[in-house]
Structures are given as structure tokens and as C-alpha cells.
Amino acid sequence: MTAKISYADVEVGTELPAQTFPATRATLVQYAGASGDFNPIHWNERFAKEVGLPDVIAHGMFTMAEAIRVVTDWAGDPGAVVEYGVRFTRPVVVPDDDKGAVIEVSGKVAAKLDDNTVRVDLVATSAGQKVLGASRAVVRLA
């Protein structure tokens, strides 16, 4: 499949619509059930602190999945993403309150490549700190 956006209409520097994604303790429990990752650092505050974390943290793959949504929503087709990678730079700390954490994600077309593909660079932050580094996706456009 290819995206609904035309390669010819996209320029380097095109900004994707930024989005925010909430992460609560309930979200983490749901993700654990879906992924099978029940590591206690993602749900047990006492355990997380015993191993040196400030509190319960979101799953890295959850954070990564939320970030790519900026690209898939923009492209209009999740199948248009042909490559995606990140470096985990900081954990998303999820406090036990009504708000939880917020992951803020923005993206920009960094390069036009061959075969109707573009490279999108993403910036993901939580609590004012970058949580993903070298976050890049290659997307095939129409």
C-alpha cells in the first residue's frame, strides 16, 4: 500500500501535525496485556524504585508505537511506513495520579529519497525531556 499524500506535493521541511498521547497506569496495564510484557517496572512503583527508577515507566515499545502514529496519521496508511527506528534516550515516567504522563510528538520531512519515499524525523518528549532519539521513519508516498 502507499500513502494518500503525493510525493510531488511534499517538500523537505514539511511539518507533520504534532500530537500528544496520554499514558496512565491503566494504559500501561492494557498495553502489558496486549504485548505480554508484564515487567514490574511498568506497573509496580515499589519495584521500579528498588531498581533505581524514579517511578513506574512506560514500555519502550508503547512509546515508540505512539510516536509513529504521527506519521501513520499524516500518511493515511500505516502500511506506507517501510522503515522505522528509534533510540530510547529517557523513560516516560508515569505517576500514579489522574493525569499520568503525556508524550508529545512532532515530525518533519527531513529528506526526499528515491522510489517515492521520504524520511521523516520525529521528536518525542515527555515532561519537557526528549524520550526518543534518532527517531526516523521512511514512508512511501503516492
Separation between Cα atoms, residue 4 and residue 82, nearest integer Å: 15
Q: Do the Cβ atoms of 106 and 14 come closer than 8 Å?
A: no
User: If pLDDT is split at 50, 70 and 90, which confidence band does 3 have?
Assistant: confident
pLDDT of 28 strictly over 70: yes
Query: What does the pLDDT average to over 82-103?
Result: 97
pTM of this prediction?
A: 0.93
User: If pLDDT is split at 50, 70 and 90, which confidence band does 1 have?
Assistant: low
Percent of the chain with pLDDT over 90: 96
**What are the start-end ranges of the H helices in 2-55?**
25-35, 45-50
User: How high is the pLDDT of residue 4?
Assistant: 85
Q: For 123-137, how does the pLDDT look when each residue is reduced to its tens digit (9 = 90+)?
A: 999 999 999 999 999
Fold of 7-140: Thiol Ester Dehydrase; Chain A (3.10.129)
Q: For 33-60, how does the pLDDT look when each residue is reduced to its tens digit (9 = 90+)?
A: 999 999 999 999 999 999 999 999 999 9
Q: For 56-81, how does the pLDDT look when each residue is reduced to its tens digit (9 = 90+)?
A: 999 999 999 999 999 999 999 999 99
Q: Which amino acid is at 28?
A: L
Q: How far is CA 110 from CA 13, 41, 54, 71, 122, in A?
A: 6, 35, 34, 13, 10
Separation between Cα atoms, residue 115 and residue 23, nearest integer Å: 36
Domain boundaries, the chain: 7-140
pLDDT of 2 strictly over 90: no
